């Protein structure tokens, strides 16, 4: 199926034209701005993928586009279609609305809280149970009505439901009927391609026996998705060529590998799934950098610097997931290689080292947090199960432990070298960023000139009026507009210096530059009251301070490390430093705009 979209397609969340991304598990197309919010929610809420710049199994792409064209979005916006909602003032955002808070709040309500989906009746004698919904799903997947099955899944039907009378799961039924798009949808929601029926036959067996060879092969791909995806990330190909990956045999690496081998199967599967999610985040980040318009410095679209928190996981596991972003390309590749090698070892039936680690430990466990709400847990039950099948049958085909060869090392090194291209790309966009800084300073200067002219005319700066109209009173809690402009100029000047250092690869300048920016930000924030009356001022000040502090933390990573310490991933570091600069400049501009507007009322 062609990946070229029809011109009539619009973003499911704000109706912007020509959406470039999709949420696979929601079956909707989304624009860049809304995608930035989806990514921040995490894969347990929304699995995003670019329609043109990401790799796609053809049947998965067809499944998404079929759902989008057949009104899957009405499932997630069911109550908004009620005319009474329009009368009450509830509406979805427009393309022109701000990402934060307008679009982000709507998207969180729509997909995380499921605020607009059709609600089931209370579970009394006449209520519909999960078992009832799952039986309906079991029957519906034999047809081509994808949106019906998605609606059932959204209401709580279980993709892995085992029918007690028929002895099969919905995936068995879809496979026998040759419904490859239904199979794709079920797998996205966690259906296991290797699940046995009452006689021990798998959905793959059903597809082969019914002559649906393409579907059977696709189910095999789904079963080995985790190891295949990790191998493809390393060398750009599926396993199958007797590839052996070994990057590091230092004592530190050997000790880490022993710890990995000592994990019980459950903890090993959790780690493998988290690394899978981190691979997805890094690949989407690469697409994000390629497709974004970097001509403006101040933007509400942001990258996702680490895996978002999944409330279903323990705090320890979430912290471990976020630390994966700190691995540089070599370290991350070494971890993936060790996981692939150990997956092969476990699949061959070799027991892990017995070092006293049992299944009751919770060092990397999956438990619900105290902050979970019923609606969030419902969402997680519906959307997190897609991970379960990724840990099944973790056979990486031809990946195993073995000796180092020069050819193998160079092959992986060549594949990893592509990450260096991202650094070059970031450096190229800095010229545009500097241009935006100059434009911002010019805009600020124009505000200052206007205030000076008012002062020369005998009118206090920041006051306004026209003709015979009344002159509005300035907000006494806000500082003088000219003072804010001067401090903003100092902030942007220091940001320019930081960006030049990044462009020239002068990473040793990161720390002093960040200190200057932090000092300028502190001086600018001190102009405003500690408890501003306007929420907009409070939000901008909070963004300004938090971004400056985060910038300091990131820049300190560029400081010379002790001998033996892990190498710094300057690609990731530069990306995060630039994002902090975005946020600081955006907050500063917001404060200038608010101050100027309020003073002239």
Q: Please classify residue 75 by burial: count the beta carbons closer than 10 Å to its beta carbon, then call 0-12 exposed, 13-18 middle and 19+ buried.
A: buried
| Residue reference for tokens 């966690």 | 190
Half-sphere exposure for 68 (CA within 13 Å, toward CB): 27
Q: Residues 514, 547: contact at Cβ < 8 Å?
A: no
Reading the block at residue 196, the tokens are 């046995």
Q: What global pTM score does this model have?
A: 0.61
**Residues 429-486: tens digit of each pLDDT:** 445 555 555 565 565 556 555 555 554 554 444 333 333 334 445 567 788 888 888 8
Helices and strands (H, E) in the chain, number of each type: 23, 3
Domain ranges for the chain, please list them: 21-112, 126-235, 251-347, 481-599
Cα separation of 243 and 344, whole Å? 12
- Candidates 1.20.120.330, 2.60.200.20, 3.30.465.10, 3.40.1380.10; CATH matching 481-599: 1.20.120.330
Torsions phi, psi for 30 (to 5 deg): -135, 155
Query: Could you tell me which CATH number the domain at 21-112 has?
Result: 1.10.220.150
DSSP, collapsed to helix, strand or coil, labels residue 179 as coil
Measuring CA to CA, which residue among 598, 507, 500 is closest to residue 559?
Answer: 507
DSSP, collapsed to helix, strand or coil, labels residue 288 as helix
User: Cβ contacts of residue 128 below 8 Å, gap of 6+?
Assistant: 120, 121, 155
How confident is the model at residue 586, as a pLDDT?
A: 82
Reading the block at residue 354, the tokens are 């017995």
How confident is the model at residue 377, as a pLDDT?
A: 35
- DSSP single-letter state for residue 22: E
How confident is the model at residue 376, as a pLDDT?
A: 39
Alpha helices in 14-108 (DSSP H): 32-41, 58-69, 73-76, 83-87, 104-107
User: Cβ contacts of residue 359 below 8 Å, gap of 6+?
Assistant: 264, 266
How confident is the model at residue 596, as a pLDDT?
A: 79
Q: Please classify residue 7 by burial: count the beta carbons closer than 10 Å to its beta carbon, then call 0-12 exposed, 13-18 middle and 19+ buried.
A: exposed
How confident is the model at residue 391, as a pLDDT?
A: 43
Cα separation of 152 and 335, whole Å? 39
How confident is the model at residue 48, as a pLDDT?
A: 97
**Residues 362-401: tens digit of each pLDDT:** 333 333 333 333 343 344 444 444 444 444 344 333 333 3
Cα separation of 108 and 130, whole Å? 24
How confident is the model at residue 449, as a pLDDT?
A: 59
Residues of the chain falling short of pLDDT 70 = 1-8, 84-89, 121-127, 237-253, 293-302, 349-475, 561-562, 564-565, 599-601
The residues pairing with 384 across neighbouring beta strands, listed in sequence order, are none
How confident is the model at residue 438, as a pLDDT?
A: 59
Torsions phi, psi for 50 (to 5 deg): -80, 140
Name the CATH superfamily for 126-235.
Ankyrin repeat-containing domain (1.25.40.20)
């Amino acid at each position: 199926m062609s990946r070229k979209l029809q011109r009539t397609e619009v973003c499911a969340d704000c109706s912007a034209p020509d959406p470039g991304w999709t949420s696979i598990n929601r079956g909707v197309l989304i624009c860049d701005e809304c995608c930035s919010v989806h990514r921040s929610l995490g894969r347990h809420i929304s699995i995003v993928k670019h329609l043109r710049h990401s790799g796609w199994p053809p049947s998965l792409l067809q499944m998404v586009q079929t759902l989008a064209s057949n009104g899957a979005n009405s499932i997630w916006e069911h109550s908004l279609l009620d005319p009474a909602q329009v009368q009450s003032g509830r509406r979805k955002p427009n393309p022109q609305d701000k990402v934060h808070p307008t679009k982000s709040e709507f998207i969180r309500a729509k997909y995380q809280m499921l605020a607009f989906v059709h609600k089931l009746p209370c579970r009394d004698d006449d209520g519909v149970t999960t078992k009832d919904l799952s039986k309906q799903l079991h029957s519906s997947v034999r047809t081509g009505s994808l949106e019906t099955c998605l609606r059932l899944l959204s209401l709580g039907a279980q993709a892995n439901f085992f029918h007690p009378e028929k002895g099969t799961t919905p995936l068995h039924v879809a496979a026998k009927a040759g419904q490859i798009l239904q199979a794709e949808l079920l797998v996205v929601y966690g259906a296991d391609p290797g699940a046995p029926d009452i006689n021990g036959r798998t959905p793959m067996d059903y597809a082969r026996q019914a002559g649906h060879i393409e579907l059977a092969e696709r189910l095999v791909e789904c079963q080995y998705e985790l190891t295949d995806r990790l191998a493809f990330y390393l060398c750009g190909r599926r396993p199958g060529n007797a590839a052996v990956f070994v990057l590091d045999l230092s004592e530190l690496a050997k000790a880490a590998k022993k710890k990995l081998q000592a994990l019980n199967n459950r903890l090993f599967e959790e780690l493998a799934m988290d690394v899978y999610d981190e691979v997805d985040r890094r690949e989407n980040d690469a697409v994000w950098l390629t497709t974004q318009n970097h001509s403006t410095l101040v933007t509400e679209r942001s990258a996702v610097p680490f895996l978002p928190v999944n409330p279903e996981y323990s705090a320890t596991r979430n912290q471990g997931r976020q630390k994966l972003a700190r691995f540089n390309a070599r370290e991350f590749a070494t971890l993936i290689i060790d996981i692939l090698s150990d997956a092969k070892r476990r699949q061959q039936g070799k027991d892990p080292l017995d070092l006293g680690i049992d299944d009751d430990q919770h060092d990397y466990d999956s438990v619900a947090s105290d902050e979970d709400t019923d609606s969030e847990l419902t969402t997680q039950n519906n959307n997190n199960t897609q991970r379960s099948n990724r840990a099944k049958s973790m056979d990486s085909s031809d990946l195993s432990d073995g000796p180092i060869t020069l050819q193998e090392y160079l092959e992986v090194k060549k594949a990893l070298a592509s990450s260096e291209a991202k650094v070059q790309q970031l450096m190229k966009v800095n010229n545009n960023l500097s241009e935006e800084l100059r434009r911002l300073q010019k805009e600020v200067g124009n505000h200052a000139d206007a205030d000076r002219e008012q002062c020369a005319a005998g009118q206090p700066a920041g006051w306004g009026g026209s003709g015979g109209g009344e002159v509005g009173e300035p907000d006494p809690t806000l500082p003088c507009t000219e003072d804010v402009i001067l401090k903003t100029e100092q902030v942007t000047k220091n940001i320019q210096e930081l960006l030049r250092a990044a462009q020239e690869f002068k990473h040793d300048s990161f720390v002093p530059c960040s200190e200057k920016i932090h000092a300028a930000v502190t001086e600018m924030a001190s102009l405003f009251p500690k408890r501003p009356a306007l929420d907009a001022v409070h939000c901008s000040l909070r963004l300004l301070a938090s971004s400056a502090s985060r910038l300091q933390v990131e820049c300190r990573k560029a400081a010379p490390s002790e001998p033996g310490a892990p190498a710094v991933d300057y690609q990731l570091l530069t990306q995060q430093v630039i994002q902090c600069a975005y946020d600081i400049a955006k907050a500063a501009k917001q404060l200038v705009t608010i101050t100027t507007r309020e003073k002239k009322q």
